[in-house]
């Protein structure tokens, strides 16, 4: 807090004055940033857990004989490394002379996203494709994206925790992010719109029109 507003310090040490602030960060980071400012919100945000995930995109030869399906979801306990395989080109069409597919790895409580090398992940992916589809796949391109602590877990009572986070904030401070109302794009846009409306109202904005 700084007088009637806020003073933000960025990672270079520069200070920025603000009338209002929206924290669009994961729950754990929100709890850290709010320490000493909003104890009620800190207590609630600190109880929202997250897990990590890895997404791998593969481009394979266009004549690879995948079955006529859009993909596979893998149940916990199955002897596969991936948790989902999506045949992206089945959904969006083939582009050029390659098919695209996506595999995701990492479940709650494991450290696959943080600790597994790119080479090991690719080996797991090719092994799972052979097991599920009976195909030996030779990728022409591979892209890997790790999302660390980026997948909120919505346990029983989650809505009550979110209400506590929001209720404990000063009027000119709001939160947005996938840990609030859902991880999908519409839910995240809605949470951001709600946050914008809150702070605009707090600083005296009239008839604000915010996308929801």
Domain spanning 6-49+154-202, CATH architecture? 3-Layer(bba) Sandwich (3.50)
Helices (H), 46-184: 88-92, 112-115, 118-133, 158-167, 178-181
Quick: pLDDT tens for 15-50. Answer: 999 999 999 999 999 999 999 999 999 999 999 999
Query: pTM, whole model, 2 decimals?
Result: 0.77
Q: What CATH class does 50-151 carry?
A: alpha beta
Quick: pLDDT tens for 63-94. Answer: 999 998 999 999 988 999 999 999 999 888 77
Examine the pLDDT at 95 and tell me if it is beyond 90.
no
> What is the domain partition of the chain in residue ranges?
6-49+154-202, 50-151
User: Residue-wise over 183-209: b if at least 16 C-beta within 10 A, else e?
Assistant: eeeeebebbbbbbbbbbbebeeeeeee
The pLDDT confidence band at residue 208, using thresholds 50, 70 and 90, is: low
User: Residue-wise over 9-19: b if at least 16 C-beta within 10 A, else e?
Assistant: eeeeeeeeeee
């Amino acid at each position: 807090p700084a007088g009637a507003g806020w003073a933000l310090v960025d990672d270079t040490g520069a200070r920025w004055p603000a009338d209002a602030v929206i924290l669009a960060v994961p729950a754990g980071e929100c709890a850290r940033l709010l320490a000493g400012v909003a104890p009620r919100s800190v207590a609630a945000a600190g109880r929202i857990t997250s897990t990590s995930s890895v997404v791998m995109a593969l481009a394979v030869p266009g004549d690879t004989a995948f079955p006529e399906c859009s993909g596979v979801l893998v149940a916990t306990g199955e002897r596969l490394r991936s948790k989902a395989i999506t045949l992206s080109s089945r959904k969006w069409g083939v582009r050029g002379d390659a098919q695209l597919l996506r595999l995701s790895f990492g479940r709650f409580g494991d450290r696959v996203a943080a600790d597994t090398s790119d080479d090991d992940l690719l080996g797991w992916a090719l092994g799972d494709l052979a097991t599920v589809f009976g195909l030996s796949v030779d990728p022409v391109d591979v892209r890997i994206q790790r999302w660390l602590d980026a997948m909120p877990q919505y346990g029983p009572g989650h809505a009550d925790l979110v209400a506590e986070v929001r209720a404990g904030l000063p009027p000119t401070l709001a939160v947005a992010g996938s840990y609030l109302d859902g991880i999908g794009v519409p839910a995240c846009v809605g949470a951001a719109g709600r946050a914008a409306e809150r702070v605009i109202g707090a600083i005296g904005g009239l008839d604000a029109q915010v996308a929801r």
